[in-house]
């Protein structure tokens, strides 16, 4: 291996506006890429535009933000009218704007899944989901699976099995397991382990989470 380190002078110049072989400047390409990523998502979320329609009608692109703009989110069976910025995450819309603080934010970067909610019954990390992308979908949070009078059977099983310590990961764990039981009412322990494989618990409650979920599954099966 050579010890030679190229000096700044030897490094090739990377012109920011030099045309590419296709005749598109680097700056122009980056600008266009930004519009594609952000603009397409916005149009699909807000106006119901298909990805194909947006791609074929670039002149129809409408920009949103940076100021807040109105959207309606369907959460736990109710419509909520909000003013959001394009950058607002679903977690922030829930916690800050709607005071639904049952959904926890721990890492805020898609690592721990403590912010798990259901989007059309599928578990998603709400810290990695833009609120605007939830427009037109059904959001279910931990607040939406029980009533003041009655816990969800899975929540009751978590209590019976003492499946929480600090509790910070617990709403996300419960939502992942609710989603599992909806899709698979008779899970094995391996199924439960897989369902919560993205949910990090620094307190190490995993064995109790597995036991609680299997217990809830058998209780629900007896009632069915």
Rule CB under 6 A: choose which of 29, 202, 207, 218 binds ligand FES: 202
Q: Does 101 bind ligand FES (CB under 6 A)?
A: no
Please, which residue, 98 or 220, has the CB nearer to ligand FES?
Answer: 98
Please, which residue, 64 or 114, has the CB nearer to ligand FES?
Answer: 114
**Size of site (CB under 6 A) for ligand FES:** 23
Cα separation, 177 vs 198, whole angstroms: 12
- 110-129 residues near ligand FES, rule: CB under 6 A: 110-115, 125, 127
Q: Does 207 bind ligand FES (CB under 6 A)?
A: no
Q: Does 103 bind ligand FES (CB under 6 A)?
A: no
Q: Does 105 bind ligand FES (CB under 6 A)?
A: yes
Nearest-10 Cα torsion for 62, 132, 107, 175? -160
Q: Does 131 bind ligand FES (CB under 6 A)?
A: no
Q: Taking CB under 6 A as the rule, which mask of x and - marks residues 39-78 in contact with ligand FES? A: ----------------------------------------
Closest approach, Cβ 166 to ligand FES, in A, equals 3
Q: Does 107 bind ligand FES (CB under 6 A)?
A: yes
Rule CB under 6 A: choose which of 36, 40, 101, 106 binds ligand FES: 106
The tokens for 91 are: 């977690």
Q: Catalog residues that contact ligand FES under the rule CB under 6 A.
A: 105-108, 110-115, 125, 127, 164-170, 201-203, 205
């Amino acid at each position: 291996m050579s010890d030679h380190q190229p000096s700044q002078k030897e490094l090739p110049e990377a012109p920011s506006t030099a045309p590419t072989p296709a005749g598109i400047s680097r700056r122009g390409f980056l600008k266009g890429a930004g519009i594609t990523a952000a603009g397409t998502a916005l149009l699909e979320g807000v106006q119901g535009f298909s990805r194909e329609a947006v791609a074929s009608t670039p002149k129809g692109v409408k920009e949103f933000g940076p100021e807040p703009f109105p959207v309606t989110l369907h959460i736990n069976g109710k419509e909520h009218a909000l003013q959001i910025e394009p950058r607002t995450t679903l977690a922030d819309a829930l916690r800050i704007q709607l005071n639904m603080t049952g959904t926890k934010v721990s890492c805020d970067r898609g690592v721990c899944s403590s912010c798990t909610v259901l989007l059309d019954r599928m578990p998603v990390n709400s810290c990695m989901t833009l609120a605007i992308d939830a427009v037109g979908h059904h959001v279910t949070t931990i607040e939406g699976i029980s009533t003041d009078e009655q816990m969800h059977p899975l929540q009751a099983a978590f209590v019976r099995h003492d499946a929480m310590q600090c509790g910070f990961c617990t709403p996300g764990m419960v939502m992942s397991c609710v989603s599992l039981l909806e899709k698979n009412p008779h899970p094995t322990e391996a199924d439960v382990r897989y369902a919560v494989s993205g949910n990090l618990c620094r307190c190490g409650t995993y064995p109790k989470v597995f036991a609680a979920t299997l217990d809830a599954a058998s209780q629900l099966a007896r009632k069915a």
